[in-house]
Structure 1
């Protein structure tokens, strides 16, 4: 068996080396690029290790576990060694030298624990392991905590992904922009950059599918290349046991009694999953030692300390951080009894846009000391529907009709690019505008609320986007959410709506941010049905949405949006006293 593995791995190594030359680290480092670690179920995990040769004593180990195999990985291990650790990177089964099938998500938690156990038994290990990394690498850290190995002492997830929470679906809606990701990570032992960078191919696929009216389950037929991973995922439109088994779920979080440092961004596409872990961890373990650093960063910016320009918005220099330095300062704090990183003055450490300074709070809820509460009223002021603070009569509603056969019109322009704009889409949906704010305040946290509606069908997908409308007439994108009505009560079990029955739909967790708004600014809410080429089309028939096609659009969707729909926005008042 072992001989077979070495033969297979030798072939894989030849294939990998044929792609690119790895950097040479020099004579001061012990390097092993061909570690093969066998899992309890017989799979093989491929890994690499780097340590300083002059280190005689056993050291803590910094582990990355990832599906992304890159030539620069050795440099990140050298970085760990230069900080006084042993650096190890391990890859999802099937990647690099592993002969097994490539299977994202499903085995990473148990395989990470296999690697941690192996590390803890090596002569160069002192039995302590810390993990870090972003996106998929953030997910694998949380996956490893589902059955926590005693050698794992801390994790530092950046913009952590969540299978079934952000990719491939968000709030039970399958989304298209990352469709090519499955090919990117599974086409070979490394990464298929050529496929991933072929934006024209996949943009064309999305619009061809949109124009065709075909079922979502047939989208790979339109592309012309089978996508077996997507087809597997489409069998799980609910957040069911398949997804729940991959990361901690509910009471699993109560057992995660190790320190955690999360890093995220207000405009990170996967913020919903990244903050899911924090919310659930502190819910089930209220005294969890879980810190958060968050600011005006996107998905990639949060992993490298921010970007000077984010979605056409200039980011203040004071918002930029040294993510890697903070990470190793944290490891020194946990694993070597050094001082805590300076930025961590409390559990939640956040940058206030507009005010342009860092603030600190003991919890997510502790970021705010009040809230704005607005109802989506039917009354009109200055040609716009009002966001009003008084509860309207339950009989008042606005009616929206959506023709899913119509492919000339897209609904729900919610994506925050650019963040600041002069105009927003007013061609469909409903725009609600508040009266001018009577005071300066900080919007601090994630908005929540309930949408009260009735429809003539069995289901709908909808979205809400929030803006600040400044005195200068500029719209600042604050936050957004897209949601599937039939999963409003339970993400793990679909509950179809009863036609024409008034239903209260509780919004799922939305994207968090901190933004100072000035007296005289207005809050704008944009409510719409989600109908565009960038995600599934929910025709409302009640069938599995992946099986619906344009024939299910024989009847227009008619929605009554009731004025008792409410949006709650957490705010920090008298901010100068709360620093």
Structure 2
């Protein structure tokens, strides 16, 4: 409780620091009103701290963020300076002392380059810059690497966001939980914590939108406050040039040849973004010095070394690491020729849930030594005592068959697709709609190690739909352990940058794209459970299937029910590490 109150007090303090800047400490030279002019004539502001007894020239550690918390930021900068660096905090264009419009994501790549260039030309700089930070600060590091400045020697992104791919939409589906974030960062020069903390307001808003049947584009009218940033983002439902300009894209990763240390969590909501940076980096630079540390952490836990309890699950002591200490060890390793952090046994370093064990692998692919291909069959499992339960089969069904589902989008009483791991371990899962598929029990203990994939084959009577696939372990004790999930817009499944509408009545093959990376011990007798459904709930856009921009569809487009035929040729792929091998 004390920690919660401390955080609340810290957030509330933000509103009081706009005019009263922190006073410099006796041991530090503090520049708390740094304002830089960018190449296009805008301004970026920030703070700079050096110890008075520092060497004449030093490497610089830069944090680049949209989150302006001057008191906390100054404390962070002093800590960095105490570690033997020049410390700088730069804020996104429009924040702090910058008078330009606030536009999250849009200018950070170019502005970060300009800040690094300015640092490299200062008399106290030895020409080397390192960056670290989480969430938005993780994104800005990759943004800075998009056009790599020669002075940038390393980045340490935690739970890095990838705009357009993780937020504000996930696999091209706009999601609601972070609706208020645009107000939080966009309402003033620091942060609007009062708005961000008003969860009741935004929960009420999304259920009011759900009940009204109004177009998603009008959701801010239902809230009663215009949300211009969201409206701008909704103009780009594809991962188009707007989003591509914000972070490295395709072969832009090829020139990122600096060492990288990424930190992420199995239950970090934006994990698909952070791990996608890793996948793309290694795709274009296979021998990149890029390390990953990942464990049973959420978005905030990964940034501070984990939490003892996450979504109701107790985390083993072995999983609780000192993220900050590892970060400084890494910065010393790269910028001061110090030893490499001991935790980095290999490129991929992961904690195995269900054990006290950490393991390492030279690559993501090497985390597993077998891939199970399991079909969503039409074989009914009456003995499972579960509605709509069928066999998740290791053998391809001999005769093609369909499982049929009808979804009435006019009905606001029935929610479909309960995919989010509110509780990681539960006694039961939703079986009121959708389909459940259950595998045969494992004959030996194995590790679920990696990210599941697969392909859903389906035929619908409309031009588009959003589907969800959730993967569980069903333990011998009858508990459901949430492993991973995906929500996917069928029309973007093959290419998030280009919408390809479905042909009504034709069997379509829908690839399952990015899912979360997870390591979990599966005991002998455990089974895998797949929950397949159509996405229809108040927590994201509602795709009525007309083929129009989903943001413009309304309940008037729901006169015809969605009819889905799920083919037994659908399958998932599951990465397994068999320890005996």
TM superposition score category, shorter chain reference? over 0.9
Map of 1:452 onto structure 2: 457
1:51-79 CA deviation, whole Å, 9 max, x = no partner?
10011320000000000001200011011
Count of residue correspondences: 562
Q: 2: distance between equivalents of 1:497 and 1:324?
A: 48
Once the two structures are TM-superposed, the CA of residue 47 in structure 1 deviates from its matched residue by 1.1
TM-score, normalised on structure 2? 0.95
Once the two structures are TM-superposed, the CA of residue 274 in structure 1 deviates from its matched residue by 0.5
Q: 2: distance between equivalents of 1:292 and 1:18?
A: 36
Secondary structure in 2 matching 1:98? coil
Where do 5+ consecutive residues of structure 1 fail to align?
1-14
1:1-25 CA deviation, whole Å, 9 max, x = no partner?
xxxxxxxxxxxxxx97655855555
Map of 2:417 onto structure 1: 412
Map of 1:396 onto structure 2: 401
Map of 1:40 onto structure 2: 39
Secondary structure in 2 matching 1:253? helix
Where do 5+ consecutive residues of structure 2 fail to align?
1-13
Map of 1:268 onto structure 2: 268
Q: 2: distance between equivalents of 1:21 and 1:522?
A: 59
| 1:215 correspondence with 2:215 | yes
Secondary structure in 1 matching 2:436? strand
| 1:143 correspondence with 2:143 | yes
Map of 1:511 onto structure 2: 516
Q: 2: distance between equivalents of 1:177 and 1:509?
A: 20
| Deviation >6 Å, runs of 4+ | none
1:460-505 CA deviation, whole Å, 9 max, x = no partner?
0000000000011100000000000000111100000000100111
Match 1:424 to one of 424, 429, 432: 429
Once the two structures are TM-superposed, the CA of residue 395 in structure 1 deviates from its matched residue by 2.4
Contact 1:162–1:274 (Cα < 8 Å) also in 2: yes
Q: 1: distance between equivalents of 2:245 and 2:156?
A: 21
TM-score, normalised on structure 1? 0.96
Map of 2:76 onto structure 1: 76
Map of 1:11 onto structure 2: none
Q: 1: distance between equivalents of 2:482 and 2:15?
A: 43
Secondary structure in 1 matching 2:296? strand
Contact 1:378–1:563 (Cα < 8 Å) also in 2: yes
Secondary structure in 2 matching 1:297? coil
Secondary structure in 2 matching 1:80? helix
Secondary structure in 2 matching 1:141? helix
Map of 1:7 onto structure 2: none
Q: 1: distance between equivalents of 2:443 and 2:561?
A: 42
Counting only pairs closer than 5 Å after superposition, residues 296-445 of structure 1 correspond to structure 2 as 296-381=296-381, 382-383=383-384, 384-393=389-398, 395-445=400-450
Q: 2: distance between equivalents of 1:541 and 1:440?
A: 46
Sort the Cα spacing of 1:20 and 1:471 in 2 relative to 1 into closer, same or farther, 3 A.
farther
Contact 1:23–1:75 (Cα < 8 Å) also in 2: no
Counting only pairs closer than 5 Å after superposition, residues 462-477 of structure 1 correspond to structure 2 as 462-477=467-482
Q: 1: distance between equivalents of 2:284 and 2:416?
A: 38
Sort the Cα spacing of 1:306 and 1:21 in 2 relative to 1 into closer, same or farther, 3 A.
farther
Q: 1: distance between equivalents of 2:518 and 2:21?
A: 40
Counting only pairs closer than 5 Å after superposition, residues 154-303 of structure 1 correspond to structure 2 as 154-303=154-303
Q: 2: distance between equivalents of 1:443 and 1:481?
A: 17
Once the two structures are TM-superposed, the CA of residue 574 in structure 1 deviates from its matched residue by 1.8
RMSD (CA atoms): 1.2
Contact 2:309–2:315 (Cα < 8 Å) also in 1: yes
Once the two structures are TM-superposed, the CA of residue 356 in structure 1 deviates from its matched residue by 2.1
Map of 1:550 onto structure 2: 555
Map of 1:527 onto structure 2: 532
Contact 1:463–1:482 (Cα < 8 Å) also in 2: yes
Q: 2: distance between equivalents of 1:194 and 1:18?
A: 15
Contact 1:394–1:564 (Cα < 8 Å) also in 2: no
| 1:560 correspondence with 2:565 | yes
Map of 2:5 onto structure 1: none
Map of 1:109 onto structure 2: 109
